[in-house]
């Protein structure tokens, strides 16, 4: 019976250790090209939503350095832009600046979620980079 508890404990430890990489904060390292365009976007995380729900950036045919200024209202939130490798926790009632270098056009989903373990986003916003 003791070996069952030991195996269950080892399994739980491995599960928790493996999940850390899925839920760890991350954002890509930013190396600035000389001709980079810089844009700042303000985001408010409230409940399980981001405000505004739609944002647009014109990169003028070159790379753009986007600084997301994310403010978490009322509770801790996780700001996510999966296709740009961004996942950052913002403590309750704080603001965090998150920089991302975008060198390609596209429409990217982003989310502000107070429950980081939920796979599909409860509510998402759209970021259009052209």
In tens, the pLDDT along 98-128 reads: 999 998 899 999 998 877 665 555 667 999 9
Give the residue among 51, 54, 40 at the shortest CA–CA distance from 97.
Answer: 40
Q: What is the mean pLDDT of the chain?
A: 79
pTM for this prediction: 0.72
Confidence check: pLDDT of 8 > 80: no
Question: Could you tell me if 36 and 62 are in contact, meaning their C-beta atoms sit under 8 angstroms apart?
Answer: yes
CATH classification for the domain delimited by 2-129, as one of 3.40.640.10, 3.30.565.10, 2.60.40.420, 1.10.150.110: 2.60.40.420
Count of helix runs (H) and strand runs (E) in the chain: 1, 9
- DSSP class of residue 61? T
**pLDDT digits 0-9 by tens, 41-53:** 999 999 888 899 9
Counting residues of the chain whose pLDDT is more than 90, the rounded percentage is 46
Confidence check: pLDDT of 65 > 60: yes
Residue 60's pLDDT band (cuts 50, 70, 90): confident
Specify which of 5-14, 17-26, 51-60 reaches the highest per-range mean pLDDT: 51-60
The distance in angstroms from the start CA to the end CA of the chain is 61
Residue 88's pLDDT band (cuts 50, 70, 90): very high
Residue, of 2 and 102, whose pLDDT is higher: 102
């Amino acid at each position: 019976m003791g070996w069952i508890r030991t195996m269950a404990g080892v399994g739980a430890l491995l599960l928790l250790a493996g999940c850390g990489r899925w839920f760890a904060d991350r954002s890509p390292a930013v190396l600035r090209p000389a001709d980079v365009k810089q844009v700042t976007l303000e985001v408010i995380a409230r409940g399980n939503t981001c405000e505004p729900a739609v944002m647009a950036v014109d990169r003028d045919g070159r790379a753009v350095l986007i600084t997301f200024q994310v403010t978490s209202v009322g509770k801790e939130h996780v700001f996510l832009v999966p296709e740009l490798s961004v996942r950052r926790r913002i403590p309750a009632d704080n603001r965090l600046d998150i920089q991302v270098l975008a060198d390609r056009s596209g429409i990217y989903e982003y989310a502000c979620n107070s429950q980081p373990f939920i796979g599909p986003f409860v509510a998402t916003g759209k970021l259009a980079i052209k």
